[in-house]
Amino acid sequence: MLLPASLASAQPSLEALEALPVHYLPAQPSAEDWSRILPDGTPLEGVWICDAQAQPSSAVEWSPLAERGPVFCLDHAAKRSFQVVYGGNLGPDRLALAWALQALQPKNDALALSVGTCLTVNAQIQGVFHGGPISPGLHLRLRAMHEHTAALPRVQIPAGPVEWMTPESTEQALQAGAFYGLQAEISDWMERWRMKSPEIVVYLTGGDVPALATTLKKGIFAAPKLAFAGLWAWSNEGN
């Protein structure tokens, strides 16, 4: 995502991010991939990256960007103004969510449920970020049932709610089990945190938000670009 210079030092806003397109790249982008997104050679104030698979900022795949501006990769060693409670080294994707919650809800408890390859539960309570449980996302649930059984087929992630009472096929039964199982887990985590903090603000983010958001209870904000808000906040701190 390219953040306009007019927003570079502004307070992060999900509304502002909604109007900006997301550009998708391969795991190891080439110079041609970058030129497709940045064709005019415009200098960049900086490049901020959060990706668990990303190489260090000195890696060759970032060189086309490094020629235009400084490159920074978010990791657990990055300086931050808030406390993180977690047993290990928090991944960069979850650190970006921590920055987002701090920026968007500085005075409120907040919860970010990220649904992608995995479901991660991320909470900010009294200004402290808690890295919570991790479980399989939709794709992993469907893939595991195919790869660890003899006969169950590989099926696609459903685009939305599927028939659960009387599925019309094995494929639909797998989709319903994965979809509603994940939906129930998300709802359970929300209720657990609301028991501790009744006014907690809840965000649903990650690549599978479009499939799940319309079926969840009210009082939850669908925010697929939440991690970008975190990178925006991190960049404003002089990182």
**pLDDT tens profile 184-218:** 999 999 999 999 999 999 999 998 887 786 666 66
Cα distance between residue 238 and residue 234, in whole Å: 7
Query: 104: pLDDT confidence band, cut at 50, 70 and 90?
Result: very high
Q: What ranges do the domains of the chain cover?
A: 5-139+169-236
Catalytic residues: 93
**CATH placement of domain 5-139+169-236:** 3.30.420.40
Cα distance between residue 10 and residue 12, in whole Å: 6
Record the pTM. Answer: 0.89
pLDDT the model gives residue 215: 65
- Tokens in use for 109? 């408890």
Is residue 57 a contact partner of residue 49, using CB atoms and an 8 Å limit?
yes
Is residue 197 a contact partner of residue 106, using CB atoms and an 8 Å limit?
no
Question: Which uninterrupted H or E stretch holds 83?
Answer: strand 83-85
DSSP class of residue 188 equals H
State the CB neighbour count (10 A cutoff) for residue 83.
Answer: 11
Is residue 104 a contact partner of residue 205, using CB atoms and an 8 Å limit?
no
